[in-house]
Amino acid sequence: MEEASIVHAVERIEAALARIETHAAITSRKSADLQGRHEQLKACVARSLEELDGLIAGPPA
């Protein structure tokens, strides 16, 4: 009986590990997507700030 409970515990641990690995893979993909979107946003904000700087400076002399 003790051996059966050990086998059952190992099976539960393996199942939990599989769930963790699946979640980690999903999270990693989401992080990569989020990083790409963040870089795009930074570039867009930088362009907007450059335009604002140009408007504040006024027309070239």
Q: What is the pLDDT of residues 13-57, one digit of tens each?
A: 999 999 999 999 888 888 988 999 999 999 999 999 999 998 998
Confidence at 12, pLDDT banded by 50, 70, 90? very high
Confidence at 2, pLDDT banded by 50, 70, 90? confident
Closest CA to 20 of 43, 12, 6: 12
This prediction has a pTM of 0.55
Residue with tokens 């059966």: 4
pLDDT at 30: 87
32: amino acid identity, one letter? A
Q: Give the DSSP per-residue string, 2-60.
A: HHHHHHHHHHHHHHHHHHHHHHHHHHHHHHHHHHHHHHHHHHHHHHHHHHHHHHHH-S-
Number of domains in the chain: 1
Which residues form the domain of 55?
1-61
